[in-house]
Amino acid sequence: MRKGSPLEILDKLKKSQTLGAHKPYIMAKMLAHAHVIVAGSEGPESILIEMNMIPARDLQEALEKALQIAGGDARVYVAPQAFQQFLS
């Protein structure tokens, strides 16, 4: 069950004063401005899709998907351990 688009989540979180809400806020803000492709996740793909992210088996598939979405002149940011980097 989806909880809303990234922009809807941002709006809800701005109104919330819940402890720890900064983590989903940061993720929703990224999703509102960029496609997030997760490579090599050990969890179910369905969870990534439900969270408005794009699953990929590995980095090569992630790059191929990024180029399909954004074209050959795409700007791609590769962030190893991204969830730890962005959400801590």
Is the distance from CB of 38 to CB of 48 less than 8 angstroms? yes
Residue 71 covered by a domain: yes
For 24, the 3-state DSSP assignment is: helix
- Indicate whether 14 belongs to any domain: yes
Specify the pLDDT at position 1: 41
Q: What is the pLDDT of residue 86?
A: 61
Whether residue 36 is contained in a domain is answered as yes
How many angstroms separate the CA atoms of 48 and 19, rounded?
A: 23
Residue 58 resides in a domain: yes
Q: Which domain holds residue 72?
A: 6-87
Residue 45: inside a domain, yes or no? yes
Q: What is the mean pLDDT of each run of 10 residues along the chain (88 residues)?
A: 73 73 79 91 89 93 93 83 65
Q: What are the φ/ψ torsions at residue 78 (nearest 5 degrees)? A: -100, 125
Number of domains in the chain: 1
Q: What share of the chain is helix, strand, coil (3-state, %, to 5)?
A: 50, 5, 40
Please indicate, yes or no, if residue 1 is contained in any of the structural domains: no
pTM of the model: 0.69
